[in-house]
Structures are given as C-alpha cells and as structure tokens.
Structure 1
Amino acid sequence: MQNILCTLPVFNILAVLFGVTSAALWIASARVPFPTGYDMDEEQAKATKKAAGYNVRAAAISAVSMVWIAAGEFMKFAPFC
C-alpha cells in the first residue's frame, strides 16, 4: 500500500497556492499609494511600512513555496513511496 503523500499531487497544489498568494501580496504592495508633496514625511513612512509588510509576507510565502516544491521532488525518491 502506497503512502497518500506519494500518490496525490499535494505538494504541487500547495506550491501553486503559495505562489498565487505570494503574487497577490506583491500586487497589493505595488498598489499602496505613496503620497507626494511638501512635508509628507509621516505619510510616506506609513505607506513605506505598509508596502514593506506586504513584501515581507510575499517573500516568506514564496520561500515556503520553494520548500514545498523541494519536498515534492524528495518524495519522488523517498524509500517509503
């Protein structure tokens, strides 16, 4: 009897979901409005912090996606599969 992780494309599906989530966060980061004008330091700092938060989350989820892809490749050669 085969292990369920060896038969289902669970790693590929999760990698795609993580990739789509990462892309959505980067899109949200790009859509953060940056105010311009005279004496806008505080507003610009808030916008930069918000965009940076989206970027950090997107990068972390992208890294998790790569780990899932590597785990899926490992499962192809796992001795218990």
Structure 2
Amino acid sequence: MNNYAKALISGKCSKCGTEVIRVYLKIDGHKHILLWCPNCKDFIIPPKLAENRALKRKLIRVRRRLLEKVIVA
C-alpha cells in the first residue's frame, strides 16, 4: 500500500503522524482529492498524478496560498 492510500484511510500523515487535511482540486476538468500535511508542509498525492505537469504547476500556487493561511492564522 502506498503513502497516499495509508494517509487517506487513517487520516494521518505517513511520515510524521499529524492529521492531514483534504484538499479538493479541479485539474483538467477532473476533481482530485489531495492530502495536505500541515506539519510537513507538503502534499501527499496519488501515484497516478505524480507525473502530471499541470498538477505540479497548480500545486506550487496552492502550496503558497496554504502556507500564507497557516502563517496568518
């Protein structure tokens, strides 16, 4: 079982054990569920989406917004 599946089932990050936040993104007309770990400050993405260039570009912008919200809050 991969890291994404473990985190999706348990609701916790496989690296640090912190509770993950579900982030819904619409990419290329499809809705995807990504997991955000606030402790690692990184996304846990499904293996099939790992090579998707459009996803990587969008993740850079979304990561920046999430980090701004964490710093402000």
- Which band: TM-score by shorter chain? 0.3 to 0.5
Higher strand share: 2
Higher helix share: 1
Report the TM-score when normalising by structure 1: 0.30
Q: Which of 1 and 2 has greater Rg?
A: 1
Larger relative contact order (Cα-Cα within 8 Å, sequence gap ≥ 6):
1
